[in-house]
């Protein structure tokens, strides 16, 4: 199973989804590949936001070695599932899909809800962590 987590900057939300699912999959002995990318290119090569690193560390998940990547259409061929954090991410990824098969790989990470962007609101990092962790547990159960 190959899963790509996508948000806007690839420094706050998708690094958490990437790190948490990778952590849980490894704990369960699952041979999954999990990565993340951003639809925006401002942060390419950077570490995750210090606030995401800190909240993950609090729950013993180390995301500090991740580096931001930019989403591009070559990634459709690599991943089975491309999970996006909000509706704008969904639009930005979907418009780069060229086949129905590629479109079918794209879904909202939370299915009927969005993961709010915590970048401008420090108080959101903790609830965002919790909602991402809970969904990652579900994904392990659903796709294992």
113 tagged catalytic: no
Find out whether 63 and 18 touch, Cβ atoms under 8 Å. yes
Under the criterion CB under 6 A, does residue 63 sit at the interface with ligand 4NP? no
Under the criterion CB under 6 A, does residue 8 sit at the interface with ligand 4NP? yes
Under the criterion CB under 6 A, does residue 42 sit at the interface with ligand 4NP? yes
Concatenated DSSP letters of 46-110? PPPPHHHHHHHHHTT---TT----B--GGGGGT-SEEEESSHHHHHHHHTT--SHHHHHTEEETT
Number of H helices, E strands in the chain: 5, 4
Query: Of the listed 12, 117, 135, 136, which one is catalytic?
Result: 117
Under the criterion CB under 6 A, does residue 59 sit at the interface with ligand 4NP? no
Identified binder of ligand 4NP from the candidate list 10, 56, 66, 93, rule CB under 6 A: 10
Under the criterion CB under 6 A, does residue 83 sit at the interface with ligand 4NP? no
Q: How far is the CA of 128 from the CAs of 13, 14, 25, 37, 44, in angstroms? A: 8, 11, 20, 18, 22
Query: Of the listed 7, 12, 22, 49, which one is catalytic?
Result: 7
C-beta of 6: minimal distance to ligand 4NP in Å? 9
Enumerate the active-site residues. 7, 13, 117
Per CB under 6 A, residues contacting ligand 4NP are 7-13, 38, 42, 117, 119
């Amino acid at each position: 199973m190959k899963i790509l987590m996508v948000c806007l900057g690839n420094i706050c939300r998708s690094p958490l989804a990437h790190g948490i699912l990778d952590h849980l999959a490894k704990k369960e002995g699952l041979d999954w590949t999990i990565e993340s990318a951003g639809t925006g290119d401002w942060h390419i090569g950077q570490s995750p936001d210090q606030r995401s690193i800190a909240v993950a560390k609090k729950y013993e998940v180390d995301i500090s070695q991740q580096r931001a990547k930019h989403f591009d259409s070559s990634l459709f061929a690599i991943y089975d599932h491309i999970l996006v954090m909000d509706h704008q991410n969904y639009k930005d990824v979907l418009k780069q899909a060229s086949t129905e098969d590629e479109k079918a790989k794209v879904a909202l990470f939370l299915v009927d809800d969005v993961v709010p962007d915590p970048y401008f609101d420090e108080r959101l990092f903790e609830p965002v962590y919790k909602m991402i962790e809970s969904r990652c547990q579900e994904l392990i159960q659903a796709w294992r």
